[in-house]
């Protein structure tokens, strides 16, 4: 059910703004003290709550864009196959860790292969290769696992449990491969761009720019190309799409390649934003991605973007009032609340429920 961003898009954006404004006002009125010292970037002493909130909104929007990139594949796969893919988080981690593997000067190993070595490619080249290999893993998964399951008409819920098994297997494989510690993709600390009282890291800014370009690419693909239109047709009605001559299976394979590659790219950019990645980086944000996709309306590619922005802003801004180690909890709470009020998500069409 991919639809062009119409008035509902603006409604959703408005909703977001109102929610953010309400939050700012509430915190100002309640006079919630500045967050405890654990915030990502130290804030100069004496900053007002309003400044802090706006700074957090900026961080949240940046995080949201990156999250959207990582999550858009989840939405595409759900839209075309109906599968809630729990192994998507590991796909995100894989992109980041493979980039580290290819670019670091430290000694690295491969499971079951004795000995260690270092490759030391430049970061940009490592990242490109990692995205391509990520895309290939998507192809391989669909070829070896999901395609055959669809052919056997295995129920979607059963496939979902398969994806849980895959997630468990890949998570532990990644830990086996890279150990339990976090790895930094680059040691360059990067500068920051300041404007007035606010700032954003140069690395973050670059990541967000790359993510925005990639997201625009996805949007153009879905709206302007024949393959993209076919993808949307399958999301709308697979049987009808098949009947009108669209080769559903090859499109779905393409969707798997795309979403794995986008997840990989998202993982790399998130690792730059987050100053590193560990074997469970993707697993940690899996639920935030689900939240983003569900908030936006399951299966709506553009919904994932709006949802991710909401999740990003809520989780960052909430650190103004609650402890930073609970910031993800607040985003998940928003997910549950939205499901209560609007089960079809922010952008989703109202379907018969209950």
Site residues, another protein (CB under 8 A): 84, 111-112, 114, 145, 149, 154-158, 160-162, 164-173, 175-176, 179-180, 283, 287, 290-291, 294, 298, 322-323, 325-326, 328-329, 332-333, 335-336, 339-340, 343, 349, 352-354
134 phi and psi angles, rounded to 5 deg: -55, -50
Q: Among candidates 122, 262, 266, 276, which has minimal Cα distance to 208?
A: 266
Q: Shortest Cβ distance from residue 210 to another protein (Å)?
A: 29
List Cβ neighbours of 229 (8 Å cut-off, separation of 6 or more). 222, 223
Q: Shortest Cβ distance from residue 12 to another protein (Å)?
A: 18
List Cβ neighbours of 289 (8 Å cut-off, separation of 6 or more). 67, 70, 71, 74, 88, 89, 92, 308
120 or 179, CB closer to another protein? 179
265 or 331, CB closer to another protein? 331
Q: Shortest Cβ distance from residue 226 to another protein (Å)?
A: 26
Q: How many CB atoms lie within 10 A of CB 253?
A: 18
64 or 228, CB closer to another protein? 64
List Cβ neighbours of 223 (8 Å cut-off, separation of 6 or more). 4, 229
Q: Shortest Cβ distance from residue 293 to another protein (Å)?
A: 9
201 or 345, CB closer to another protein? 345
For residues 303 and 58, give the distance between their C-alpha atoms in angstroms, rounded to a whole number: 20
Q: Shortest Cβ distance from residue 152 to another protein (Å)?
A: 8
Q: Shortest Cβ distance from residue 122 to another protein (Å)?
A: 30
90 or 274, CB closer to another protein? 90
The DSSP code for 346 is S
58 or 168, CB closer to another protein? 168
The DSSP code for 225 is S
220 or 323, CB closer to another protein? 323
Q: Shortest Cβ distance from residue 171 to another protein (Å)?
A: 8
The secondary structure of 21-53 as a DSSP string is: HHHHHHHHHHTPPPPPTTSSS---TT--HHHHH
Q: Shortest Cβ distance from residue 284 to another protein (Å)?
A: 10
Rg, C-alpha atoms of the chain: 20
* C-alpha torsion 306→311→317→318, nearest 10: 150
Q: Shortest Cβ distance from residue 336 to another protein (Å)?
A: 6
Q: Give the pair of three-digit tokens for residue 99.
A: 């980039």
84 or 235, CB closer to another protein? 84
Segments in the chain forming alpha helices (H)? 7-30, 49-81, 88-103, 123-141, 147-151, 156-178, 202-224, 226-236, 238-243, 248-273, 281-296, 301-317, 327-341
124 or 176, CB closer to another protein? 176
What is the three-class DSSP state of 244?
Answer: coil
């Amino acid at each position: 059910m991919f639809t062009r961003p119409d008035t509902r898009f603006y409604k959703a954006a408005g909703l977001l703004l109102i929610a953010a404004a309400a939050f700012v006002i509430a915190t100002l009125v309640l006079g919630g003290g500045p967050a405890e010292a654990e915030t990502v970037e130290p804030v100069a002493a004496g900053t007002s709550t309003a400044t802090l909130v706006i700074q957090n909104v900026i961080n949240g929007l940046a995080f949201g864009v990156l999250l959207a990139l990582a999550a858009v594949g989840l939405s595409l796969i759900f839209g075309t196959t109906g599968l809630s893919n729990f192994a998507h988080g590991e796909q995100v981690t894989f992109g980041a860790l493979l980039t580290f593997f290819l670019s670091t000067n430290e000694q690295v190993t491969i499971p079951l292969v004795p000995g260690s070595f270092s490759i030391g490619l430049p970061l940009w080249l490592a990242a490109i290769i990692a995205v391509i290999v990520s895309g290939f893993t998507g192809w391989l998964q669909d070829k070896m696992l999901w395609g055959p399951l669809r052919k056997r008409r295995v129920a979607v819920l059963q496939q979902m449990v398969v994806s849980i098994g895959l997630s468990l297997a890949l998570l532990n494989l990644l830990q086996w491969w890279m150990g339990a510690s976090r790895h930094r993709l680059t040691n360059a600390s990067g500068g920051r761009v300041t404007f007035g009282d606010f700032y954003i890291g140069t690395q973050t800014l670059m990541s967000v720019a790359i993510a925005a370009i990639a997201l625009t690419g996805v949007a153009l693909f879905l709206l302007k190309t024949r393959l993209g239109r076919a993808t949307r047709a399958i999301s709308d009605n697979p049987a009808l799409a098949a009947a009108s001559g669209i080769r559903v299976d090859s499109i779905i394979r393409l969707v798997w390649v795309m979403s794995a590659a986008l997840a990989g790219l998202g993982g790399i950019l998130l690792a730059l934003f987050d100053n590193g990645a560990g074997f469970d980086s993707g697993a940690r944000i899996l639920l935030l991605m689900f939240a983003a996709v569900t908030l936006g309306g399951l299966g709506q590619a553009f919904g994932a973007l709006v949802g991710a922005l909401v999740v990003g802003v809520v989780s960052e801004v909430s650190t103004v009032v609650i402890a930073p180690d609970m910031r993800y909890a607040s985003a998940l709470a928003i997910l549950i609340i939205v499901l209560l009020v609007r089960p079809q998500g922010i952008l989703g069409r109202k379907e018969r429920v209950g």
